[in-house]
Structure formats: C-alpha cells, structure tokens
Amino acid sequence: MRYVVAVAEEKNFTRAAEKCFVAQSSLSHQIKALERELGVTLFARSSRRVELTAAGEAFLVHARASLGAAERAISEAAAANGQIRGTLTVGVIPTVTTIDMPAALGEFHRTHPAVRIRLKSGGSDDFIAAISAGHMDIAVLGLPDDTPPTGVMTRVLAKERLVTVVSAGHPLAGRRRLRLDDLADEAFVDFPEGTPGRVPSDLAFEAAGVRREVTFEAMSTTLILDLVRQGLVIALLSPDAVPTGYQDLLTIPVAAGPTRVEYLAWRKFNLTPAAQAFLDILQP
C-alpha cells in the first residue's frame, strides 16, 4: 500500500522508488503483484505518464487511511510506554511573525528525537483544508480579521495592522503617516490574488473606494522586500515582517489600513501524541 501511495503522489515510478528507498524494479513488481491479487489495474501507464485508474482512486483513499491507522497505532503504543514517535506535519505561512518556528521545532526535536518532522510552506486556506482532512497536524495562519477559520481549533496569536513598506529613496519615504488614497497611484507587490495574505489589503482598498494596482506577485516576503528595496514597487506587510536595521527600507503606518489576524490552528479532535506534544511547546 505504501508503494501505491508513493506512486500516486509522485506520478512517477522512479521517484516513488527513491522516496521508498527501494529499487524501481522491486516497487513495480510489488504493485503488479497487488494488481493481480486484487484483479484490477490501479495505474494507467505510458512511457511518459502514470495516472490512477478509477479503481486506483478508490483504493488510494483506503490505503492512506490504513497506513495512517498503522502509524497511529505504533505512535500510540510508544506513547503509552513514555515515548513519542510518528510524524509531525506543520504548516507555516510566509509572513509568520509571532512564533519562532525554527526554535520551536528545534526544542521539539531535542525532546522527541524519534518523531519525523515535516514542515510545509504555503497558504492558510490550503493549511485549513489539510488539517481538516487529517493531512496536517498544526499550522500558523494569517487571515483577514472578519473571516476566522472554520473546521479547526484555533488560538489568536496576534492582530496587527499592516504598514506600507517603501525604499529609502521613494517619494513617500519622508511621510510619518499615510492614508489609503495616498497610495492610489503606486505600483504594489503583493501575494497572489485570492490568497489570504492578500485579501486584507484588497478588502481595505475596496471598502475605501480606492483603486490599487498590483504589478508584481510573490509568495516570499524576502522577494517582496527585495523588489521594494529596488524601488520597483511598494508593499503592505506586517511591521514585524520587515527586519530591523535595514536602512534602505522604511515602514509607514496607514490610517484605516488593512488588518490581519495570525492564528495557531490544529485538529479539532484525536490529536496524535506528537501533535499534542508540539502544541504544548507552542502554547505552554
């Protein structure tokens, strides 16, 4: 079953074999043997593509559930004996500012070295869906203050008003405070349209009746700041997202500017021992 899941995820037998640390011939042989035993074809194969068949899609759902149950059984048994094992999957948005995630993960690893840690970067909506589906344990989210997450347990980490970030040579650099209409003619860099990292800004400009032009899109705050530093664009970010000591970048408060809430999110029930232990570190 593990081989089937790996091929389904990688869509390639060679990469799946590398992921499972087995020879490709062995992995292919085992999957063919399983198909003969089941009397169905799990994968449609060609020289260039590998896709799940309808039977494969049905099998994959239960294969993942079975593997998850087996891993959970092992981790629960170990926890009953005072050991925490298994896998911890954590999601972190690019703009996280309230938690020192590397330090938290380091502390967790030193305390529970038998746990495999998986760290994923991405968007809040994807993390909420992954937690709800049981594919992720804990995540840090950033959302508009009027759209709290649903389907997961949460704790508010911070509520913050975004600031304008400009280069030191920008015409706005001398201002102590701005209004949204002061930014109407500026070119912006922001997160991709529709993502939670961008929605607060889009909503704020829409509510103020001010048109905004986003000419650059990026998922990395480092790239966003570098584009601002070059004088190409300006940005709206959490004040903590801009490192201190950068004389070529300035932050300016915005009256009635966009706000966002940073959340810690986790599964509503049946947390794994590893997830509970990490949650205890994040919120002692």
* 201: CATH: 3.40.190.10
Do residues 209 and 129 share a domain? no
H/E stretch holding 35 reads helix 24-38
Scanning the structure block, which residue is given the tokens 């570190």? 281
Do residues 253 and 168 share a domain? yes
Residues in the chain: 284
Q: Single out the residue in 47, 80, 113 at which a domain terminates.
A: 80
Do residues 8 and 74 share a domain? yes
Residue 144: CB atoms within 10 A of its CB come to 18
Domain count within the chain = 3
Do residues 251 and 187 share a domain? yes
Do residues 216 and 195 share a domain? yes
Distances (CA, A) of 85 to 88, 187, 263, 268: 9, 49, 26, 21
Do residues 101 and 235 share a domain? no
Do residues 233 and 150 share a domain? no
Do residues 74 and 91 share a domain? no
Do residues 109 and 228 share a domain? no
pTM value > 0.85: no
Show the beta-strand stretches assigned E in 218-266. Answer: 235-237, 249-252, 254-255, 259-266
CATH code of the domain containing 18 = 1.10.10.10
Do residues 145 and 276 share a domain? yes
Do residues 98 and 219 share a domain? no
- Structural domain containing residue 237: 163-257
Q: Single out the residue in 46, 80, 114 at which a domain terminates.
A: 80
Do residues 142 and 56 share a domain? no
Give, for all 284 residues of the chain, the pLDDT tens digit. 888 888 888 888 888 888 888 898 888 999 999 988 899 999 888 777 888 888 888 888 878 777 666 666 665 655 555 568 888 999 998 888 889 999 999 999 999 998 999 999 888 999 999 999 888 999 999 998 888 899 999 999 999 999 999 999 999 998 999 999 999 999 999 999 988 889 999 999 999 999 999 999 998 899 999 999 999 999 999 988 888 777 899 999 999 899 999 999 999 887 888 999 999 999 85
Q: How far apart are CA 223 and CA 230, in angstroms?
A: 11
Q: Single out the residue in 62, 80, 98 at which a domain terminates.
A: 80
